[in-house]
Amino acid sequence: MKVKLLTTISLFSYQLSVSQTEKVLHGKVLSNNNPLNKVEVINKTAKTSTRTNELGQFSIPVKVKDSILFFSKDYFFTRLKITQQNIDYNNILVNMIIKPEELKEVVVNTIKFDPVKSSQQDIDKIQLAKATGSLQKYTGVYDGTITNGMDFIRIGTGLLNLLKKDKEEPKKKTSQTNFKKLIAASIPHDFFTKDLKLKPEEVDLFIEFCDADPRSAKLLENNNILTTMDFLYAKHETFKKLE
């Protein structure tokens, strides 16, 4: 009985040690069945990384429950939680979705039109129409209008609108710093709610809190997603103590 028990414990210990041993995971990253080159494949748990080759293939050491991140600036962030099935199959396929392309600013150049040419006959017709419509010219009765005069009602309305605009407070423009642009481009929004356990209404405040740290400028010099995440994890610990 003791021999059987020891054998069972030994087998269980062996299986446990095997499952906890790092193994090299092979895979391929695609988008619409096209291989993606130079995609960052990051083992966030082990803090190691690699890149895909021209065929979209990669190899990276993993263990069960490791969190693998796939990052490319033109594609949406993808995350994979490693299971024993992934390791046993050892040939995973990862599909990434391309981001919508942003329209660039359109510059409108000055367009020159040919001047409209009017004949003397056209000018005579216009003058005749004006003369025909003038009540004062043919009857001598003043109709209250000033020929070619100013529209005082329209001018008065314009002045009132101008005074209203002066009283209105100018709208504050929210500036987006380089750090915020870096976060928006490299860190998915659910990282803050799922990994850092922040409430949705706390995310913007937390980013402002990180942006105020002078060390955030160093992240712009060396744009590395692992370094950025480490910085956010460290700032999150401080942020929680402020609550």
Q: What is the 3-state secondary structure (H, E, C) of 99-147?
A: CCCCCCCCCCCCCCCCCCCCCHHHHHHHHHHHHHCCHHHHHCCCCCCCC
Please give the mean pLDDT across all residues of the chain: 76
Q: Residue 66's pLDDT is what?
A: 93
pLDDT band at 173 (very low <50, low <70, confident <90, very high): very low
pLDDT band at 62 (very low <50, low <70, confident <90, very high): very high
The amino acid occupying position 29 is V
Question: pTM here?
Answer: 0.45
Q: Residue 144's pLDDT is what?
A: 53
Task: Domain count for the chain, please give it.
Answer: 2
- What contacts 73, CB < 8 A, 6 or more positions away? 185, 186
DSSP state of 61: E
Q: Residue 236's pLDDT is what?
A: 87
End position of a domain, from candidates 95, 125, 152? 95
Answer yes or no: is 140 within a domain.
no
- Measured on CA atoms in the order 155, 160, 164, 167, is the torsion positive or negative? positive
For residues 48 and 39, what is the distance between their CA atoms, to the nearest angstrom?
Answer: 14
Q: Residue 123's pLDDT is what?
A: 72
pLDDT band at 99 (very low <50, low <70, confident <90, very high): confident
Q: Residue 158's pLDDT is what?
A: 62
**184 or 60, which is more confident?**
60
**133 or 176, which is more confident?**
176
pLDDT band at 95 (very low <50, low <70, confident <90, very high): very high
- What contacts 24+ positions apart, CB below 8 Å, involve 217-220? 217/179, 219/179, 219/182, 220/178, 220/179, 220/182
Highest mean pLDDT among 19-28, 65-74, 99-108, 141-150: 65-74
And the tokens for 77? 């962030």
Q: Residue 172's pLDDT is what?
A: 46
And the tokens for 243? 């609550």
CA 163 to chain centroid, in Å, comes to: 39
End position of a domain, from candidates 95, 130, 161? 95
Answer yes or no: is 100 within a domain.
no
Answer yes or no: is 12 within a domain.
no
> Which strands, in side-by-side order, build the sheet including 48-51?
48-51, 40-43, 67-71, 78-81
Q: Residue 24's pLDDT is what?
A: 93
- The angle formed by the CA atoms of residues 209, 210 and 216, to the nearest 5 degrees, is 145
Answer yes or no: is 47 within a domain.
yes
Proportion of the chain above pLDDT 70, given as a percent: 63
Domain that residue 52 falls in:
17-95
Give the mean pLDDT of 187-192. Answer: 86
Q: Residue 137's pLDDT is what?
A: 52
Answer yes or no: is 160 within a domain.
no
